[in-house]
Each structure stands twice: as structure tokens, then as C-alpha cells.
Amino acid sequence: MAKQFMFDALRHAIDEEMQNDDTVFVLGEDIGHYGGSYKVTKDLHVKYGDLRILDTPIAENSFTGMAIGSAMTGLRPIVEGMNMSFLLLAFNQISNNAGMLRYTSGGNFTIPLVIRGPGGVGRQLGAEHSQRLEAYFQAIPGLKIVACSTPYNAKGLLKSAIRDNNPVILFEHVLLYNLQENIPDYEYLLPLDKAEIVRNGSDVTIITYSRMRYHVIQAVEILVKEEYDPEIIDLISLKPLDISTIIDSVKKTNRVVIVEECMKTGGIAAELIAQINDTCFDQLDAPVVRLSSQDIPTPYNGNLEKATVIHPHQIVDAVRKICMINR
């Protein structure tokens, strides 16, 4: 075991897969000699050369399209978005090409493509650098979507994504890169379609993902002192949702609070609520509570920015209220 930052865990995942498979390569802006904006590809160009760690022009639609074409012809590209918001410029390539080509070609082509990079609300990065795009991409058929939340799952998920024969989007939160955790010395892979039960409990199921995992943990520390017993589920897989794990938890707790950084309208929580109501409505003792970011562009002002996202005290209040229903 060795303690690693999340950015190091991601770099080691890429390094290991590039060493094991010479069809794996990385492309994106400033990923080569500069080492990436968050140092995920630091020094890899020295080991693998400028054709496998490929610096691109500022043209997301072009290099994403090139990556998709290379995936069709047998390579395994990893596209780094300097900021995931910039990949809106490649939305056509991701939706009309990456998501569809395996289907529209009748299975003649596979698209072993990984798209990864930082996103979420940072600290005064401005509206265009603080977007949460998971809900944008969730509606695209043919994609798999995962959101890492720890150095351990970041490495295991990225390695699995690189080996998968379908396009995978890996969301990394801009404020989690400096998290540290002990990482095993041996190789491991994590499934791309499974949630993690972070804490077992019996009173209420709190579903979350990415950075909000830590806001939930802080809230639960307070709730446990008040003799509540929450269960925490980190979704990890945003598409497909691991609805079976969620159903099992709802049958046990009968109450659900969803905490996300995504916007409320059309967010991940909206889809979750629909699926929970479809599959286990009769198990609920109260309506599902949704705690989401406000439907506004993220302000640059620090205090206003802070006010747009969910914080632990709001989670505590929501759990207290929902646990009072039908008691």
C-alpha cells in the first residue's frame, strides 16, 4: 500500500495501461510537455513519446473526432478535456459518433474510447468552468458514465474504462485531485456499473456521488450523534444506474434523500427519482427528497458560488425532516 493523490492514481492507471497495451494513447490540450492542467499526465511523454501522449490544438471537436476514428480502427484513445465544459464543443462528435457508431454500423465497429477530465463547481472558476455536464451526457444512448470520488476508485475505474470496448466518460471533480488515500500495490479493476455502499444504515438512504460524497459524510457524522442511522450510497455509475443496489437499500430504510451537485432540473436526481418511483414506490414511507444545485450559472463571487451548492447542514435538516414522517 502507498498513499497517493487522486491525480497520481489516475496517472498510474494510464501509465499501467499504456505499458500493457501499445494501442492505448492519450490526446488533449497541454497534456504532453506541460503534463496536463492537473498533472495527470505529468512526465508520461518522456516515457512514451509525443505520438502516444499527443498534444493537440485548441479544437475539441476535431481531436475528439480523431479519437473516435482511431478507436474505430483498433486503437484505444483517452481524451483529456482540460475542463469538461470545453467538451460541449465536441458534443456532436460524442453524441452522433461515439454513442451511435457501434449501433449504426450493425456492430461492425466498436468504440473503445475514454473521455475524462475535471468538472464540477471549483473555487471561483466562473460559470463556463464550473458546469456539471453529467446530465447533458446521460441522455446519449451508447455511452457509459462514471464519476470517481476517491483515489482508489479513480484508478480502478479508469483502468476498467480503458479496457472497455464502449465509449466511457469519466467525470473527475476539480476539487478532489488533492485527496490522498492508500492504494494497493497490486493491480485491481472496478466495475463500471456498480454503486458503492459507503455506510450501512437503517433509517434513511442517502444517495450521492463525486464531491458531494464528502458533504454527506460530514452530515452523517452529525446525524449519528443524534442517533440517526443513515445508509450512504455513492452511485459511481451514472449510466447505467445501479438500481438494484438502490432498491435493496430502499426496502431496508423506506426513505431516500438524494444529494447532488448537478442542477435540479433534468439532473441525475430527477432520473433517480423516476426509477425509484417506477421500481419501489410501495416501499417508500415518504416522498424522495432531492437536494441539488440551483438552476443558475455558477457565480464567480465566492459567497454566491457557495450558496448555489448543497452543504452538510442542509443534508442534516433534510434527514431530520424525512425521518419524522410516519414515525
Each residue's pLDDT, cut to its tens digit, for the chain (327 residues) gives 889 999 999 999 999 999 999 999 999 999 999 999 899 999 999 999 999 999 999 999 999 999 999 999 999 999 999 888 899 999 999 999 999 999 999 999 999 999 999 999 988 888 888 888 998 999 999 999 999 999 999 999 999 999 999 999 999 999 999 999 999 999 999 999 999 999 999 999 999 999 999 999 999 999 999 999 999 999 999 999 999 999 999 999 999 999 999 999 999 999 999 999 999 999 999 999 999 999 989 999 989 999 999 999 999 999 999 998 765
Answer yes or no: 45 catalytic.
Answer: no
CATH 3.40.50.800 is the classification of domain 196-324:
no
- Choose, from 12, 45, 129, 173, the residue flagged as catalytic: 129
Whole-prediction pTM: 0.95
pLDDT of residue 126: 85
d(CA 12, CA 10): 5
In the chain, residues under CATH classification 3.40.50.920 are 196-324
Answer yes or no: 215 catalytic.
Answer: no
pLDDT of residue 327: 57
Write down the CATH number for the domain with range 2-183.
3.40.50.970
pLDDT of residue 125: 86
pLDDT of residue 1: 80
pLDDT of residue 326: 60
Query: Considering Cα of 99, then 100, then 102, then 107, what sign does the dihedral take?
Result: positive
3-state secondary structure of 159: helix
Q: Rounded to the nearest 10 degrees, what angle do helices 243-253 and 268-280 cross at? A: 60
In the chain, residues under CATH classification 3.40.50.970 are 2-183
- Choose, from 60, 172, 260, 305, the residue flagged as catalytic: 60
Cβ atoms of 27 and 77 closer than 8 Å = yes
Burial class (CB in 10 A: 0-12, 13-18, 19+), 252: middle
Q: Which of 66, 64, 25 is nearest to 47 (CA)?
A: 25
